[in-house]
Amino acid sequence: MRLLNILSILLIATTVSANQLLADSFSDNVVYFDTPMKEDEPKLKDMWDGLWPFQGINTFAHLEHDKCLLDPALEYDIGIIGVPFDTATSYRPGARFGPRAIRAASQRQTSLRGYNQRADFNPYTSWAKILDCGDIPVTPMDNSLAFKQMNKGFEELIARRNSKNSTSTPPRYVILGGDHSVLLPHLRALHEIYGKINILHFDAHLDTWGPDKYPSFWHSKQAELNHGSMLWKANKEGLTSQTNVHAGVRTKLSGIQDYVDDDDQNFTRITADDIWIKGVQYVVDKILDTIPQDTPTYLSVDIDVLDPAFGSGTGTQEPGGWLPRELIYILRSIENLSIVGADIVEVSPAFDTAEITATNGAQVVFEVLTSMVKKGSLAHLVKNNNPKDLLEIKSNNDAKSTQYLDKQEINKLIETKLKEFEEIKFNLLSEIEQLKSTQ
């Protein structure tokens, strides 16, 4: 009797588990659960292309990847471009690993889960084709060469590509830096297309420091440019407009003269403390009151604008910075500006903790992409559809002065110089004649 009971219990248990197996569509009996059986073979793409966020090779947000520099015929609207360069860093280096860290930290952004609830918009499923353009191969051995490579790279990505393509709008780019100096080559190429550009600069530091703010017995031309002086250089080259903003500033200064120099470069400063003393809306209003909405604007985000608590992975941290939620709120609130190019720079993963800095960096890119796509095409801002070949002219008399001129301007300059030469020649000949006559 007892044996019979045990047998019947076993029998019931077996029956139940077999029934469950048949009824349970998640069991491993169901092979093509999501793919209805067709007469033909299931497509390999359907079977094997659905990666989880933590799987696959890292491109930014799992975007399609092409080396944009290798194929001028590629058409896309927005490119993510890595610039792994950090040898213009003045303190802790390591931002050359920024692009790969930001790409890795961006993996939870997918077109499937890319809906930005703050913006009520999904930048990954709209009109714009967004591509991960890979990295610009920049040398870490020679900064002079590195800037040549970056200048040439951005020229080809923006100016040349635009003149070759049938579309009237050049692609826009978000740089994954790299130290902050990578902004300059990007800005130079944008200037060729759009003319003078407003800078909206989120940073703990001013970055408008001239070379004299880095005094040294030793000097070289190349040592003049570092990641704290590229905005000074951009101003010298006439790339920037009259309406520029620094926000989140809290750097230590060499003196109050730093602010005077900054004023001379047409920057409005919003300090880091303004956000808690005057409020986040003050920061937003100040930016929007300063920068005209429909003029070309470059958005540059140094991750050190965040407090070191949220951005330890950077080269030059400054205590007392913004919270990520404040930065995100501000980025969302300025979405109507005309962003022609952007960057997230100074992410240095060796100093990062638990990917916090890199994840914040990836979020910045998400917000910027959202704004760029939501705003739509900026074709109406293109001033020069067939950019002139601008040439670098260095003055013999003043080693610090560099001009960027097109061929017409250079011909004019030659004419003027020839006239000056004729005048000098005439005067000298007159003097010689006079001397001769006195003999």
Query: Can you give the binding site for Mn ion, defined by CB under 5 A?
Result: 180, 203, 205, 207, 302
Is the Cβ of residue 76 or residue 267 nearer to Mn ion in the bound state? 267
Our CA angle for 234, 74, 116, nearest 5°, is: 70
Is the Cβ of residue 203 or residue 262 nearer to Mn ion in the bound state? 203
Q: How far is the CB of 187 from Mn ion (least distance, A)?
A: 14
Q: How far is the CB of 180 from Mn ion (least distance, A)?
A: 4
Q: How far is the CB of 203 from Mn ion (least distance, A)?
A: 4
Q: How far is the CB of 340 from Mn ion (least distance, A)?
A: 20
Q: How far is the CB of 434 from Mn ion (least distance, A)?
A: 60
N- to C-terminal Cα separation, the chain: 149
Token pair listed for 49: 């292309």
Is the Cβ of residue 302 or residue 326 nearer to Mn ion in the bound state? 302
Q: How far is the CB of 234 from Mn ion (least distance, A)?
A: 13
Is the Cβ of residue 181 or residue 359 nearer to Mn ion in the bound state? 181
Is the Cβ of residue 87 or residue 116 nearer to Mn ion in the bound state? 87
Is the Cβ of residue 172 or residue 180 nearer to Mn ion in the bound state? 180
